[in-house]
Structure 1
Amino acid sequence: MDRLVKPDVKELELIFHTGQNCTVPFKLINLLHTMSVAVSLTTTNPALFSVDRILSIIPPLSSASYTLILSQPSDEPPFSATPDVITVRAAMLPTGKANRDDLRRLFARPGPHVFRDAVIPVSLVGPHVAEFLILRHTQIAQSCSLFKKSLFGCSATQLTMLLRSACESGNADFVIALIDAGGDVNFKDSNGQSLMPLAIRTGNIDIVKILVVSGCRINNSVDRVLHEAAAMNRVDFMEILVKFLGNIDVNSVDSDGRTPIHVGALYGHVKVIEFCLSVGGNPDVVDFNGWTPFHCAASEGHLKAVECLTECSNVKYAVNKDGKTAFSLAVDNGHSHLLDLLQWGDVLLRAARTDDVHGMKCSLAEGALVNRRDQNGWTPLHWAAFKDRIKSVKLLLEHEAEVDTVDDAGYTPLHCAVEAGHLQVALLLIAHGSKVNTKS
C-alpha cells in the first residue's frame, strides 16, 4: 500500500473576494477497511493559508471534512512565487485513539510509519482574481494559465463583464479564454455600443479578428468603428471590418455628421481617405456645420490630404455655414503652403487661358506655383501656348516656367502651340530652350 487516505479533489479552487475571509471545504477518505488513520495537514505558506484541523483521526472506510482558510483578507489576490499546496501525511493508528500531543509526536518522528499521501494544489479563482490579472497581467508570471483557472466560479454575466475589460486591456489570450468560457461576444453597454470599438482603441488587431470570427455584430448608428480606426490611421482594421462585417457603412456619420473620410482628412491620414474612396466612400458629404472633408484637411494644413481630395472631390469652393471655403480656413489658420493648391493655382490657370496678365501677376505674387498642373497635367504655360496668349507666355517664362513639362498625354507647351498653329508662341518657346525633337 502506497497511501492511506485520498483527497476528494485534485485541486482546491478558492474563490477570492476582495477584503473578505475566504474558505473552501474538502474531504479526506480513509482507504483502510479495518484501521483508523491519523492525518497531519500542512500548508506551504501558513501565514497566508491555514486548515481548520491540522491533526485529526479518520475511522476505517470513513471520511473527514476540512476547510482551507485564507487567513489574511486583502484587496488583491495574494499570488506566491511558488504555487501554494496542502501536504497530506498519514499514519496507521491501530488503537483508533490518540490525543493531540500523541499525534504531534507521531508525526514529529520521521520514518516509514508516516506516509506522504497527497499534495493538493491551491488556486485562487473567481471574478476578482480574473479582473486583477487583466489589470496586472504584465507583472504576474504565468498570468495566462492563472487567468484560465481563475474563471472557475464566474457566472455568465461576470464572464461577459470580464470580456469587456479584457478587450480594453488589449490581451488577446484573455479574450479568447473568456469567449471559450461563455462570455457574450455580442454584449452591448447602456448606450448600445458593442465590444468592437473597445478592441479597436487598444490597437491590437488580433482582438479585432477574434471578435469578428466569433460573430461580434455592430450597430452603425452607435458603433463608430470606421471612425475609430480612421482616427488611428489603421487601414488594416478598416479592411477587416469592411470585408467581414456585412452591415458596415463606409458613409455612416458620427454625432457631428462626419464620415470616416472627414476623420481621415482632419488628421491628415491619406491612406484612410484612399481606402474609404476605394470602397464607395463619398468625399463630398457635408457635416452638420457644412464642412466637407476638404474643409477639414485645409483647416488643419494637411497638404497631402488636400491633394488627395483635389483629385476626387468637386467641392473645393463649397462654403460651410459660416460662409468659409477651404481656402478661407487655410488663410485663417496660417497655412500658406496650401493657398496655391486651394485657389491661387486655379486663378493662375484660368488667367493663363484668358490672357489675364494682371490676374496672373496677382496670383503669382500671392504664392501660386508657376508649374502647377491641372487634372490633365497641363501647366499654365500649356494653356497659354495652346490659346496663343503670347503676353502670358512671356510672363510665365519670366517667372521660370518649365518649357518642356510633359502633360498626361506626353505633350509639351511647344506641342500645344504647334498643333494649334501659333508660330510666334512656338518660336518664343524654342528661343527659351524648348526641345523641338521631343516626341509626344
Structure 2
Amino acid sequence: MDRLVIPEPSSEVMIRVEPGRQARGELTLRNAMHTMPVAFRLQPAVRGRFAVRPHTGILAPLAAVTVEVVYLASAAPEGPSGSGGGSRGEDAFLLHSVVAPGAAVKEPVTALDSVNPEWFSARRKQVFVDSSIRATFVGASVAARLVAAGAVEALREVLDRSEPEWRSADAADESGHTLLDLAVGLRRADIVQVLLEYGADADKPSRGRTPLETAAASGECLIAELLLANGANPAGSDALHVAAAAGHNDVLKLLLAKPACASPASSSSASFSCSFTSIDAAGRDGKTPLRLAAEAGRRDTVKALLAAGARAEARCGTDEATALHAAARRGDEAVARLLLSHGVAGTAAVRDVAGKTAFEVAAEEGHGGRIMDFLGLGEAILAAARKGEVRSVRRAADGGASVEGRDAHGWTPLMRAAFKGRTDTVRDLIDRGADVDAADAEGYTALHCAAEAGRADVADLLLKNGANAKTTTAKGRTATEIAAAAGKSKVVRLLEKSGGMGRKDVSEKAAPAVAKGGSMDRRRRGRKGSSGAIRFGGGKEGFEAAAVTVGWSH
C-alpha cells in the first residue's frame, strides 16, 4: 500500500475563480483502511498561497471528509495549473497520513485541526507522504485570461474541467465583457469556435453589443459566419447597421443573405422558424443601414444596399431625413447620384422633419458647385414647368431630375404646368413618362388643376393621354364639378364629352361648392410659403429662382 488516505475524485483540486467571488474548491479525503483509524494533514507547498479547512483530522476506517481549499493570492492565476497549462510547485499540496491505532474515534471524523504535529514527524517510519495533489484553476477569470493570451488548448482544458451548470463559456470578465465578445474583439476565430462548441450563447450581449455586432464592426466575415451558423440572429441586433456604417461589405452581404432565426441552430425543426432581416429596419439610433452608409460616405456599401432593395426615399431618425439628406449634408455628389438613380420618383423632393429637401440641406451647409446643380434639378424642373420653359424642363430631366418630383405641397411638375396652362410643357412631361393621374395629398390630379384654372387645351391633352375624368379628390369632387364651380364652361363641355358627369349632375353639385368659396387657386395662393421658396443670393426666391441658380433659365 502506497497511501493510507485517497483523494477523491482525483488528485486535482478544482479552484473556481469568478469575478467578485472567493476563489475556492473542495477535495474529499477517504481512509483506505478497513479496520484502522488514520490521521491526516493536508498542507499547501507554499504557505500563504492557499488555506485548507480542516487541514488535519482523524478518519475512522473507510470514512471520508471534504476539505475546503481557498486561494489566497490577490492576483488571479493565469491558467489551469499555471501559465500555459504547465504544472507549478507553488500550486502543489503535501498530504501526510499515519495509522492511529490508539486514537479514540467516536465519530467518522474527529480531532479536526487538532492532531498532534508530532504524529507526522519524519522520524516516524509509518508516515505516508503524498505529493501528487495539485490545484487546477477554472472559472471565468481564468478563462478570460486565457482568451486574452490566445491560449486555445489551455482554454479548452478549463472548459472541459468546468461543471456544465457553471456555463463557463458564457461567463464574463471583471469588466463585464463576455468571453465570446473578447474573442470576437481579438479577431480570434479559433477561440470563437471553441467557445461556441462549449455552449456560448451567440446572441448574448456584452456591454450593450452582441457578438455579431462586434464582428460586423471589425469586418470579421469568418467570425460572423461562425456566429450565424450557431444561432446568432441578425434581426435581433444592429449588425447590419454596424457593417453598413463601417463599410464592411463582405459582412454586409453575408448578413443580407442569411435568414434571421427565431430559435438557436440546435433547435428541432418543429420549433425552428426564420424570417429575413428587413433591410430598411431602423437601428437603435433610429437610422437605417442605408442612411448610416450615406452618412459615412460608403459609396460601395450604398450601392450594395440599393442593389439588395434598400429604399432611397425611406425617412428615418429623429429628423425624419433620408439617405439623400445625409449625402447632401456631406456634399457627397457620388453617393447622391447613386441614391437618386435607384430611388423612386420624387426622392429628391422628400422633406425632413424641418421641411427641407436635400437641395436645401446642401445649400444650408454651404456646399456649392456640382452637387448643388445636381440636387437642384428637382427644384429647377418644378420651376421650369410652372413657367412653361420646355428647354429648361428637358435639361433638368436629362440631367437626372425626376418628372415625378414634388414640391412642398405634393404637386408634380405636370400639375404645375397644367395649372398654368403650359401645354407644350405638359406634352413634354407626358412624353417623358409623367403619371397623368398622380395626385397630391388632397387628391388633386393634373386634370383637376387644369379644370379649375380653365385650361381647356391642357385638359384635352391630358384626357387624350389617359387621364381619368372620373377621378375624385379627397372631398369627392370630379374635375367636371371643379370646372363648373369655377365657371369654366369650356372645360365642363370638354369633360362631359369625355364621359365625365352630365350637365344636370354638375349643376346640382357645383352650387354648394361655389357657396363654400373653395377655389383651389385661392387656397393655394392663400398658403404662406406655398411656392416652397428658398432664399438665394441676389434677392431671388422661390422655385423660379432655382432654375436661375443652376443656370437653366432663359
Contact 2:38 2:98 in 1 (8 A): yes
SS at match of 2:276: coil
* Structure 1 residue 332 corresponds to structure 2 residue 346: no
Contact 1:194 1:217 in 2 (8 A): no
| Alpha-carbon distance in 2 for matches of 1:51, 1:217 | 47
SS at match of 2:132: strand
Deviations 1:344-399 (A, max 9, x none): 8998xx9xx9888xxx9xx9xxxxxxxxx968xxxxxxxxxxxxxxxxxxxxxxxx
* Structure 1 residue 293 corresponds to structure 2 residue 323: yes
* Structure 1 residue 238 corresponds to structure 2 residue 244: no
| Alpha-carbon distance in 2 for matches of 1:16, 1:255 | 35
SS at match of 2:178: helix
* Structure 1 residue 144 corresponds to structure 2 residue 179: no
**Cα 1:151/1:179, change in 2 over 3 Å:** farther
- Offset at 1:240? 1.8
Give the equivalent residue in structure 1 for 2:227: 211
Report 1:337-356 matches (<5 A). 338-339=370-371, 342-343=374-375
SS at match of 1:336: coil
Contact 2:2 2:128 in 1 (8 A): yes
Contact 1:49 1:69 in 2 (8 A): yes
TM value normalised by structure 2:
0.50
- Offset at 1:337? 5.3
Report 1:46-85 matches (<5 A). 46-56=47-57, 58=59, 60-71=61-72, 77-79=76-78, 81=83, 83=88, 85=91
Give the equivalent residue in structure 1 for 2:512: none
Counterpart amino acid of residue 238 in structure 1: L
Query: Percent identity among equivalent residues?
Result: 22
**Cα 1:140/1:159, change in 2 over 3 Å:** closer
* Structure 1 residue 318 corresponds to structure 2 residue 349: yes
| Alpha-carbon distance in 1 for matches of 2:337, 2:159 | 51
Contact 1:159 1:181 in 2 (8 A): yes
TM value normalised by structure 1:
0.61
| Alpha-carbon distance in 1 for matches of 2:51, 2:205 | 42
| Alpha-carbon distance in 2 for matches of 1:5, 1:25 | 16
Unaligned stretches of 5+ in structure 1? 364-372, 376-440
SS at match of 2:295: helix
Unaligned stretches of 5+ in structure 2? 105-114, 260-274, 401-554
SS at match of 1:24: strand
Report 1:146-295 matches (<5 A). 148=159, 151-152=162-163, 154-155=165-166, 162=172, 165-171=178-184, 176=193, 179-185=196-202, 196-197=212-213, 199-201=215-217, 203-219=219-235, 223-245=237-259, 246-254=275-283, 258-287=287-316, 289=319, 291-295=321-325
- Offset at 1:271? 1.7
Counterpart amino acid of residue 181 in structure 2: E
SS at match of 2:241: helix
Residue correspondences, number: 345
- Offset at 1:22? 5.1
* Structure 1 residue 121 corresponds to structure 2 residue 134: yes
Counterpart amino acid of residue 283 in structure 1: A
Give the equivalent residue in structure 1 for 2:523: none
Give the equivalent residue in structure 2 for 1:6: 6
- Offset at 1:296? 1.2
| Alpha-carbon distance in 2 for matches of 1:344, 1:218 | 38
- Offset at 1:21? 5.1
| Alpha-carbon distance in 2 for matches of 1:6, 1:202 | 52
Counterpart amino acid of residue 216 in structure 1: A
- Offset at 1:17? 5.7
| Alpha-carbon distance in 2 for matches of 1:216, 1:146 | 25
Contact 2:52 2:67 in 1 (8 A): yes
Q: How well do the aligned residues superpose, as a CA RMSD in angstroms?
A: 4.6
Deviations 1:132-178 (A, max 9, x none): 7548842696762475268537556x865649723433445665555
